[in-house]
Chains A and B, each alone.
Chain A
Amino acid sequence: MSHPLRLTVNDGEYLVIAAAGAYLLDVLRDDLGLQGTKEACAEGECGSCTVLIDGEPVDSCIYFAAQATGKRITTVEGLGRNGAHPVQRAFAALGAVQCGFCTPGFVVAAAALLQRSPNPGVDEIREALAGNLCRCTGYNNIVAAVLAAAGSQDGDA
C-alpha cells in the first residue's frame, strides 16, 4: 500500500507517494531520479548505496524511506552541487576510479569522514571506508585520493 512521505533530499523538500515498505535507495533512484546512488548487493555489505542521513553515512538499500522522514538526506548529487567536491576532484586526479560503480558510495563515505575528521590518517580512512567494496582499484588509490582531498581542503581553508 502506498502512502505519502515528506523527504528532505539535498536541501529540497519532496512529497513522494511510495509503498509503505519502500527502501530509501529505491525511492531516491526510481521516484526522485537520483541515480548516483547505486545498488549492488542490496544487503548492507558493499556501500554502493551510501547516502548521508543527518550527515552520517548509511546504507540506503536496507533503510526504509519512512525511517528518513524529518531527517536531512544527502546523496552524491548533493555533494557536487557547487562544482566537484574536493573528494571527487581527488578521485578523478589520482585514478581512484576505474569502472566507477562503487565511486559514489566511496565519495559520500569519504566526504562524511572529512567532515568529522579533516585530517585523517591512513588507518582512520581504511576504517571509515571498510563498508565500501571496490572490485577494480585495489583500494590504494582510493586511500591516496582521500588523503589528497584532506590536504586540498586544508589549502582551501
Chain B
Amino acid sequence: MVSAQAATSVRSFVAPDTVVGAIEQRHRLGDTAIYLSGGTDLGVVMRRHLVTPEHLIDLSRIDELRTLERVDGTIVIGSAVTHRTIELSGLFVGHAEALREACATVGSVQTRNVGTLGGNLCNASPAADTAPVLLALGAVVEIAGPDGRRLLPIDDFFVGYRRTALAPGEILTSIRIPVPDAPRGSAFLKLGRRKAMEISIASVTVRLDLASDGTIAAAGVGLGSVAATPVRSASAERVLTGSPPGPATWDAAAHAAVGDCSPIDDVRATQEYRAAMVPVLVARAAGIAFGRARSNA
C-alpha cells in the first residue's frame, strides 16, 4: 500500500543556490544525502521505499543549472533544464531536432514540467529517452566535484546498468551539443505500445551531417532499451559515413545496427521483437534525418 505518507527516511531538505554550495552540503551531510533535480524518478522510488535517503539536496534552485543557451558553436543545456523547456524551445531546430522530439515524448505534460535532462541521464535507465539522442549528437557533459570541473564525452558517461561515471558527490552540471557548420539533420523514433506516457520498447536516433558533394560526412546512431546501457552503434555509423544517402544505405546501416544490440526479454517486449524492430526504426529515422539535413542546408 503506497498510501499517502511522507518519505519518512528524510531528515532534512536543503536547496543551495550554487553548485559549490551543493557540493559542500553533500560533503557535510555524507553518503545518506542524495541530489534531487525534478524528482520524477526519485519521488517514485522513494514512494516505494526503494531509496531511503536522509537528506535531499535540491539542485533545481541553482540558476546556472537552469540555463539553456547557444554559445558560439555549442548548445549548452543546464542539467536542471526541464523536458518541457526543451520541448518548447526554438534552439534545437536545424541543429538537434531529435533531442526536442525525445524530450516531448517523456511521460506527460505533468512529468515534463518537472523532470529534467540531467535527471534523465543520471538516473541512467537503459530506456532513458534522451540518452541515445545525446550519444548520436556527440554531446559532451560537464561534471563538477569537490576538486573542480571536468568534461567527459557522453560515450563515457554510461558505465553499466543504471551506473554512470559520476563519483560520489559529483554533480552533472551541463550537457553540451556541438553544432557543426555543415547541414545536419537528426530524428528520434520511439516504439511503445501506446501513443503517450510510454517507456520505450526500443528507441533510435540517427544524426546525419552532409558534405558539400551530397554524401554523408559524418553520422551518429544511438539506440535505447536494447542493452544494459544506452548504446551507440559504431557499425551503423561506419556504414553511413562517406556513403551516398538513400534507401540502400539506410538498409545497410539498419542491418549493421542489429549487431550492436544485446536486447533482453522484459514485460514490455521480447528480445526477438526488439531485434526485429531496431533495423526498421534505424532505416526510418535515417530517412527522416536526411530529409531534415537537406532542408537545413
Interface of B is mostly: loop
Interface residues, chain B, with chain A CB atoms under 8 Å away? 2-13, 15, 36, 39-40, 43-44, 46-48, 56, 58, 60, 84, 107-111, 113-114, 195-197
Complex CA–CA separation, A103 to B127 (angstroms):
31
Contact A43 B46 (CB under 8 A): no
* Beyond A30-B4, A62-B39, A62-B44, 16 extra complex contacts between A and B, CB < 8 Å: A21-B10, A23-B4, A23-B43, A26-B6, A43-B47, A58-B113, A59-B111, A64-B36, A66-B15, A66-B56, A109-B109, A127-B109, A128-B109, A130-B109, A130-B196, A131-B197
Give residues 26-57 of A contacting B (CB, 8 Å): 26, 29-30, 39, 42-45, 47, 50, 53, 56-57
Does B109 contact A21, Cβ atoms closer than 8 Å?
A: no
On whether the beta carbons of B15 and A25 are closer than 8 Å, the reply is no
Question: How far apart are the CA atoms of A62 and B107 in the complex, in Å?
Answer: 13
- Known interface pairs A26-B6, A109-B109; A64-B39 also in contact (CB < 8 Å): yes
Closest to B11 in A: A1
Given A23-B7, A25-B4, A62-B44, A67 and B39 contact (CB-CB distance below 8 Å): yes
Given A21-B56, A39-B4, A66-B15, check contact A47 B108 (CB 8 Å).
yes
Given contact pairs A20-B10, A42-B4, A43-B2, A131 touches B110 in the complex (Cβ within 8 A)? yes
Q: Contacts A3-B13, A66-B15; is A23 near B6 (CB within 8 Å)?
A: yes
B6: contacting residue among A21, A39, A44, A58, CB under 8 A: A21
Chain B: CB-nearest residue to A69: B15
Contact A63 B114 (CB under 8 A): yes
Tell me if B40 and A44 are in contact (CB < 8 A): yes
Cα–Cα, bound, A78→B3 (Å): 25
Q: Mind listing 22 A-B residue pairs with CB under 8 Å? A: A19-B7, A19-B10, A20-B6, A21-B8, A23-B6, A23-B7, A42-B2, A44-B110, A44-B111, A50-B110, A53-B114, A56-B109, A57-B113, A58-B113, A58-B114, A61-B43, A61-B47, A62-B40, A63-B114, A64-B7, A130-B108, A131-B110
Interface size class, chain A: 35 or more
In the bound complex, CA of A52 to CA of B214 (Å): 49
A22 within 8 A of B: yes
B44 lies within 8 A of A19 (CB): no
Q: 9 tightest CB-CB pairs across the interface, nearest first? A: A131-B108, A21-B10, A62-B43, A21-B7, A130-B196, A19-B6, A22-B6, A66-B13, A42-B2
A107 to B198, CA, bound (A): 23
B12 proximity list for chain A (CB < 8 A): 1, 3, 20
Residue of A45, A58, A59 ringed by the most chain B CB atoms within 10 A:
A59
Q: How far is the CA of A53 from the CA of B197 in the complex (A)?
A: 21
